[in-house]
Chains A and B, each alone.
Chain A
Amino acid sequence: MDPQVLISISQLSHIYAGTRKKTSHRALHEINLDIHYGETMALLGPNGSGKSTLLRVLTTALVPTSGAVRVGGVLLGHDPSAVRRQLGVVFQNPALDGKMTVGENLRMAGLLYGMGRRAVSQRSQQLLEVVGLWERRNERTEKLSGGMRRRVELAKALLPTPAILVLDEPTAGLDPVARQDFWNQVEELKADEQLTVVVSTHLLDEAERADRVAILHKGQLLVCGPPRVLQRQLGREILTLCSDDAAALQAALRSDMGLEGQVVDQDLRVPLKSDISLDEVFQRFGSQIRSLSLAPPSLDDVFVRHTGQHLEEGNAA
Chain B
Amino acid sequence: MNGVWILAQREVLRFFRQPSRLLGSLVQPLMLWFFMGSGFADSFISRSSELSYGEFFYPGIVLMLLLFAAIFSTITLIEDRSVGFLQGVLVAPVPRLSIALGKLVGGTLIALSQVLVFLLLAPVAGIALAVEMVLALLALCTLIGMGFTGLGFIVAWKLDSVAGYHSVMSVVLIPLWFLSGALFPIEGAAPWLEWVMQCNHVTYSLVILRKAFYLAPDQLIDDAAFMHALLITGGWTVLTTAGAAWMVAHSRNP
Interface set of A (CB-CB < 8 Å, partner B): 16, 59-63, 81-82, 84-85, 87, 89, 91-100, 104, 108-109, 111-114, 140, 156
Contact = CB atoms under 8 A, between A and B. Distances in A.
A61 B2 contact: no
Contact of A61 (B6, B7, B9, B87): B87
Contact of A112 (B13, B18, B94): B94
Contact of A85 (B2, B89, B93, B253): B93
Interface in B57-101: 83-85, 87-95
Given A61-B254, A93-B84, A111-B2, A99 B89 contact: no
B87 A104 contact: no
Contacts of B158: none
Nearest to A59: B91
A93 B83 contact: yes
Nearest to A168: B87
A99 B6 contact: no
Given A95-B84, A99-B13, A113 B254 contact: no
B10 interface: yes
A61 B88 CA distance: 9
A112 B84 contact: no
A95 B85 contact: yes
Given A95-B85, A99-B17, A111-B2, 5 more contacts: A61-B87, A61-B254, A84-B92, A95-B88, A112-B6
Given A81-B93, A99-B17, A91 B88 contact: yes
A63 B92 contact: no
30 contacts: A60-B90, A61-B91, A81-B95, A84-B91, A84-B92, A84-B93, A91-B88, A94-B84, A95-B84, A95-B88, A96-B88, A97-B10, A97-B85, A98-B83, A99-B18, A100-B10, A100-B13, A108-B6, A108-B9, A109-B92, A112-B6, A112-B7, A112-B89, A112-B92, A112-B93, A112-B94, A113-B92, A113-B93, A114-B2, A140-B17
A256 B17 CA distance: 75
Interface of B: 2-3, 6-7, 9-10, 13-14, 17-18, 83-85, 87-95, 252-254
A95 B87 contact: yes
Closest 5 CB pairs of A and B: A93-B84, A95-B88, A84-B93, A81-B93, A112-B92
Nearest to B5: A111
A310 B252 CA distance: 34
A183 to B, nearest CB: 21
A91 B83 contact: no
A61 B83 contact: no
Contact of B91 (A89, A111, A114): A89
A91 B14 contact: no
Contacts of B2: 111, 114
A90 to B, nearest CB: 9
Nearest to B92: A112
A97 B95 CA distance: 20
A81 to B, nearest CB: 4
Contacts of B84: 91-95
Contacts of A81: 93, 95
B89 to A, nearest CB: 7
Nearest to A86: B93
A140 to B, nearest CB: 8
Contact of B14 (A59, A85, A99, A114): A99
Contacts of A114: 2, 93
Nearest to A82: B93
Nearest to A58: B91
Nearest to A88: B91
B90 A61 contact: yes
A61 B252 CA distance: 8
Contacts of B93: 81-82, 84-85, 112-114
A60 B91 contact: yes
A84 B89 CA distance: 11
Nearest to B253: A62
Contacts of A63: 252
A94 B92 contact: no
